[in-house]
Amino acid sequence: MVLSLCLCVSLFLYAVFRSMMKAINRKILRNFWGMKGQAFAIALVIASGVATFIMSVSTMQSLKLTQSVFYRDYHFSEVFSSLKRAPEGLRLRIEEVPGVDRVETRVVAAVNIVIEGFSDPVTGHIYSVSDYGGSILNNLFLRQGRLIEPFRDDEVVIGEAFAGAHGFKPGDTLSVIVNGRKKSLSIVGVALSPEHIYQMPPGAMFPDFQRYGVMWMGRTPLATAYDMEGAFNDVTMTLSDGASLNDVIDRVDELLRPYGGLGTYGRKDQLSHRYLSEEFKGLEQMATMFPIIFLGVAAFLLNVAINRLVSTQREEIAALKKGLKHLARIFFSGGATKVIPASFKVMEFTNESDLDLIDDMIQRPDDLLLGSAHPQGGNRISDDPGQGVVSNEFRVHGYENLYVTDASVFPTNLWANCQATVMAISHYASRFVAT
């Protein structure tokens, strides 16, 4: 009989709870449908912000990975130095510097470029490569054509950006003025180099692909044309693991100073790499800024939507205020001398006639403190003051007119909803309160 009664009570409470949840869900759906246009706009803005962030981060990771792989596979140097002129034998002394791994000396010639049909002055640099088409460092990635045949003095490979700016392709010719002499060169290839991803003239702030070009030529013919046989005027290096860049720079500067050294610097100060790094920093800032803008707009729209939703629910706020005043009157009727409603703003009433002030003090939902819980066991029941807070008559030990009849008087927590139990003990305790 008792088991059946408990089962019936449980089923009844479950049905009430389920019906309440259905009503709440229906209200949420009605509210959402009433602001479906705003909700769609907010969702679209949030989705755009998240998509922009994901796209930007993915793009940055892809670009950095591509840069790293390209630098590694084509042996981008870590240390660079230019000078007036030094004998090739100096290379052996540079290789002996602690921390230096690989060294490549080369000839770099400043040239004026003559392009038919283009009247503006064009300058450039020709970098030497091995006479057999390869290099130890800063290898070329061919985009079109081929590398230079051994010891050919009329063949050149040009940078892709310069070729694209003027429409050059393998088989075309151009003229350069090197060391005061004009020379006609045949373009045999178009290439990229990790050293010249951005082809920028020295001292320039921005690339100018039409008026500055980078080219590569065999070491022997370029050295002959530039009076550098058996010598070099540029050197690049890579470092061993754990090497100190500053120590290497100091030692190399010391070696090159008698030969007109113009200063040694690391990869981070190399013109193309530095410009590319600044571009990446700008992209990273954009990747952070644009999602913040999108999400900020979404937050603003959400705040507007919520404010409009609140303004349409004045009836619910009025009902809550009416309930607060009704509960306060019950407390005053029961003999309370001070009533403190559950509100965000602290309100204390000592007179029932002042309760109408609640209407002015509560205007928005966040002016109220709403909650529902059944904390259990905090004021456990026991006739022994050392074991409990309230006696078996629910009177707080040490007080004559203070009673507690909620779930806090339970000796321990229940394993089920305690609403019915609280109602039962409150009804049971009422006889002690009445007497």
**pLDDT higher than threshold 90 for residue 293:** no
User: Whole-prediction pTM value?
Assistant: 0.61
Which residues does 303 contact at the CB level (< 8 Å), separation at least 6? Answer: none
Q: Region of 297 please: left (phi>0), alpha (psi -120 to 50) or beta.
A: alpha
Average pLDDT, integer, range 197-220: 87
Average pLDDT, integer, range 67-73: 93
- Percent of the chain beyond pLDDT 90? 43
Model pLDDT for residues 400-421, shown as the tens digit of each residue: 889 998 888 888 877 778 888 8
Contact between 370 and 342 (Cβ < 8 Å): yes
Q: What is the DSSP letter of 149?
A: P
Q: Could you tell me the pLDDT band of residue 3, with boundaries at 50, 70 and 90?
A: very low
- Beta strands 181-192 and 155-159: pairing type? parallel
289: tokens are 């800024």
> Coil, strand or helix: which one is 156?
strand
Q: What is the pLDDT of residue 21?
A: 47
